[in-house]
């Protein structure tokens, strides 16, 4: 799963994933190289005896990262990291749910991530269709003064596809709500 941390929704989702799971992900460092890491924001998974507050200049502060940074516990480095992730696209490779009581929660989480990816795909397709419609209408109305039959057919098909995509998004939204209810009742 890819998350664009330019988006507030993706940034919020990423922080939630880190808070509720151990997440293996990849991001681009400032020098341009890629870093694979495994991290969390859940203090229960950090080794006993480890300081759970970050020390800066002798003062204990829970976090003084800049807005473009996201602080997390890095299991590979065995310490806190605050890379500049906002504005990047990160690749989530694995999500290990915490305190999973049974396989049901894991299956629900996997389905939720599949739905998230499908909804993002639909969102991209809707943008493409709207852009195509906008270009078709502008070109024909501006330069010809009238829409030709094949353009009208193209517009009609695009509108039907848009309606279908919106129905699918609504159905997926309902499924997310249903799965979240099941998940909250399982925990």
Distance CA 171, CA 169 (A): 5
Q: Greatest CA separation found in the chain?
A: 75
Alpha-carbon distances of 171 from 18, 108, 177, rounded to whole Å: 27, 16, 10
Residues 155 and 137 sit within 8 Å (Cβ to Cβ) = yes
Which tokens is 58 given? 């002798």
State pLDDT tens for residues 156-183.
888 888 888 888 888 888 888 888 888 7
- Sheet architecture: strand order including 21-28: 2-4, 89-97, 21-28, 34-40, 72-74, 79-81
State pLDDT tens for residues 123-138.
888 888 888 877 765 5
pLDDT more than 70, % of the chain: 73
Quote the pTM value: 0.47
pLDDT value for 24: 92
* Residue 138: strand, helix, or coil: helix
CB crowding 125-159: b at 16 or more within 10 Å, else e: eeeebeeeeeebeeebeeeeeebeeebeebbeebe
Tell me which DSSP letter residue 137 carries. Answer: H
């Amino acid at each position: 799963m890819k998350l664009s941390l330019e988006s507030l929704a993706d940034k919020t989702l990423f922080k939630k994933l880190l808070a509720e799971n151990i997440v293996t992900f990849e991001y681009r460092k400032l020098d341009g190289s890629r870093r694979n890491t495994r991290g969390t924001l859940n203090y229960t998974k950090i080794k006993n005896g480890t300081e759970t507050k970050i020390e800066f200049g002798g003062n204990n502060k829970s976090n003084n990262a800049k807005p473009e940074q996201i602080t997390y516990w890095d299991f590979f480095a065995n310490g806190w990291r605050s890379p500049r992730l906002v504005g990047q696209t990160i690749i989530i490779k694995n999500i290990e749910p915490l305190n999973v009581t049974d396989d049901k929660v894991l299956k629900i989480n996997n389905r939720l991530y599949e739905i998230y990816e499908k909804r993002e795909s639909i969102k991209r397709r809707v943008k493409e269709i709207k852009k195509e419609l906008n270009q078709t209408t502008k070109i024909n109305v501006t330069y010809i003064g009238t829409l030709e039959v094949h353009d009208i057919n193209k517009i009609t098909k695009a509108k039907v596809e848009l309606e279908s995509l919106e129905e699918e998004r609504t159905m997926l939204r309902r499924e997310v709500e249903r799965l979240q209810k099941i998940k909250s009742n399982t925990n």
